Homo-oligomer: A and B are copies of this chain.
C-alpha cells in the first residue's frame, strides 16, 4: 500500500492485492484518489466520509464548498472530512482510462461492472489504511447518498450517522433515463465500442444534456428559460436548428461535460447507479435494513423526479419497519435532483442538527468513560 501526496494537494492510495468485485472479476491494483479537509484527531474518531455524485471528484470544496462556509454543515476545526474519487471515475481512481496491467493498455470497454458496494469496499480499505475504524458520519447526495446507505448496511459497526440525500434504489423511470443516456453514447460511431481515442463528443454531450434535464425541474426551467429564444441570438421560428434558450443551455452543459468527463467512466458509473439495490446480497431488503446500527437521516427533494421525494419517504418507512433509527426530512426546492447542490442553506439547516447530535452523544459517552 502506498500513501502519497500528489502535486494537486490531494492524495493517492493504492492497494496491490486483488480487489474482488460484486458482479465478478477483480481489479488489481486499485487506486483511490482522495482528499482530506481538517485533521484526524489522536483517537481517529472524528472522520466524516463524504461521498460524491456521478461526476464529482475527491475535492469536496470543488462541488460542495457551501458546506464548509461559516455555520455550514461541515466544521474542519472539529472533523476531518475524507472524500475518495469513486471507483470507475476519471478523476484519479482506477477507471476505464487506467492501464490494465494484463494488457498494458487502458481497460476501456473491458473495465468490469462496478457496484456501489464495490465503491464503498474500496473506501473501507482506504479508511483501514488511514487508521479510521469508525466514522463519525457518512454523507452524500444522489450516487453519494447510495454509497452512504450502502455503508449503513454493509458496515454497521463502522458508522455512527448516515445522511443520504435524494437517494433510493432507482425506479423504472430512473432506469429508463439512464439507459437512454448510455444508448446515446454507445450509438455515437466515435465511441468505437469503447475503444475511442477521441471522446464520442456528440453522444456524450447528448447523454449529459439528457441527464441535466432529469437533474432539474420543469418549474425551474419555466422560471429560468421559459419560451425565450437562445440568448446568443438564435430565432427558433426561423430555421430547424435555431433554438430556444433551454435548448442552448442543455447543449452548452453537454459540450462542457465532454471536456471534463470520460465516456467509459460515465457508462460504468451510470450502470452502478442502476444496479444499486440494498436487498442484493442479503436475504431481503428487510434483512439488509435490520443490519443498520447508525442513526439515518434521509432527505427527499420536493421537485426531484429522478429520485422522487415520495420514494425516499417510503424507504424511510421501510427502515422504521425494520427497526432502524431513521428520520426523514424534505428539502423544499424547485431545483429538482440538483437541489442538494443548489440549495445549500436549507440543506445545512436540515443536516446540521443530525451531524451535531452525533457529536454531543459521543461527547457524553466519552465523559462517562
Contacts and interface: CB of A to CB of B under 8 A. Distances in A.
Contact of A179 (B169, B170, B246, B305): B246
Nearest to A174: B218
Contacts of A189: 189
Contacts of A225: 172, 175
A107 B290 CA distance: 65
Nearest to A244: B175
A240 interface: yes
A267 interface: yes
Interface size range of chain A in the complex: 35 or more
A171 interface: yes
A262 interface: no
A308 B250 contact: no
Nearest to A241: B186
Contacts of A213: 173, 176-177, 180
A238 B24 CA distance: 8
A109 B250 CA distance: 24
A226 interface: yes
Count of this chain's copies in the oligomeric assembly: 2
B244 A274 contact: yes
Contacts of A241: 186
A179 B206 CA distance: 10
A183 B206 CA distance: 8
A275 B242 CA distance: 12
Given A240-B267, A250-B179, A275-B236, A218 B187 contact: no
A203 B187 contact: yes
A243 interface: yes
Contacts of A175: 225, 227, 244, 246-247
Contacts of A66: none
Nearest to A235: B23
Contacts of A243: 179
